[in-house]
Amino acid sequence: MINVLVTGGNGQLACCIKDVEVKYENLNVIYTDSQALDICDINQVQSFFKSHDIDYCVNCAAYTAVDKAEEEKELAFKVNAEGAKNLALACKEHHVVLIHMSTDFVFDGTKTEPYTEEDQSNAISVYGASKLQGEIEIQNILEEHFIIRTSWLYSEHGHNFMKTMLRLAEIRDEISVVSDQMGTPTYAGDLAKIILEIIIEKSKDFGIYHYSNEGGSVSWFGFAKAIFEQTRIDIKVNAITTEQFPTKAKRPAYSVLNKEKIRSKLNIEIPDWDLSLEKALSKKIRLI
């Protein structure tokens, strides 16, 4: 039996891991939220690891309020950097493999071709900087780690762009969506499978990996259009610029991730984003 700790147990990725892990008989998964395990408290983290037999720790806990982080910098760094450091220290002491979730926001978005794991990071928001610092803390402490950077995460669970678009469509007949930020959506259900495959296969190819769905890049406007087309929702979607929709935090204008490393090292197939969107939408509809 492989014992797995999943932090951030109420988040959308952890919920997707719950959906997927039932297919694996030899996994024993413990899910914790901030009440059960505050990763910002080193003493609590150490105590938890001492009292539980853990083989893998999947860190889904994060401060993800991108705009709010500009005003709550200390809290963002406490969760995303100090929390990651605490888990890395405990994992090192107890010989646990850490699988840590990171983000495309560690990049500034000035490239015009997909970002590789070797590209220079340069966060342009507090959120991005806090996640980047978390990566650095882990790399400085622990050799046995996987850092998975992902982008535009969504699912039938939690709060995300897909669910926001569906909610807005219930109360409006017209919306405006930014069309000059390019990326690739990631279905959390697909990412959950990759995480569990790393664990089941007991991979030793530690390091930083990029993961999002395939199928090319798309803007938020294009993603919204696809959501409404697949659900046959009749709503007018207007394309606007980032300048027309100002936010407190800067977003990368281009954050497409190159997945060649994770595909070749871990020998995986990555679904196209439009097919995964169809799957997520069908599950969302079944949950209603």
Q: Which residues are catalytic?
A: 127
Is the separation of the CB atoms in 218 and 183 below 8 Å?
yes
Length of the chain equals 288
The DSSP symbol for 219 reads E
In order, the DSSP letters of 101-124 are: EEEGGGS-S--SSPBPTTSPP---
Q: Contact at 8 Å (CB) between 63 and 80?
A: yes
Locate tokens 């991005």: which residue? 128
DSSP run (H or E) holding 175: strand 174-178
Q: Residue 194 is encoded by which pair of tokens?
A: 């990759």
What three-state secondary structure class fits 144? coil
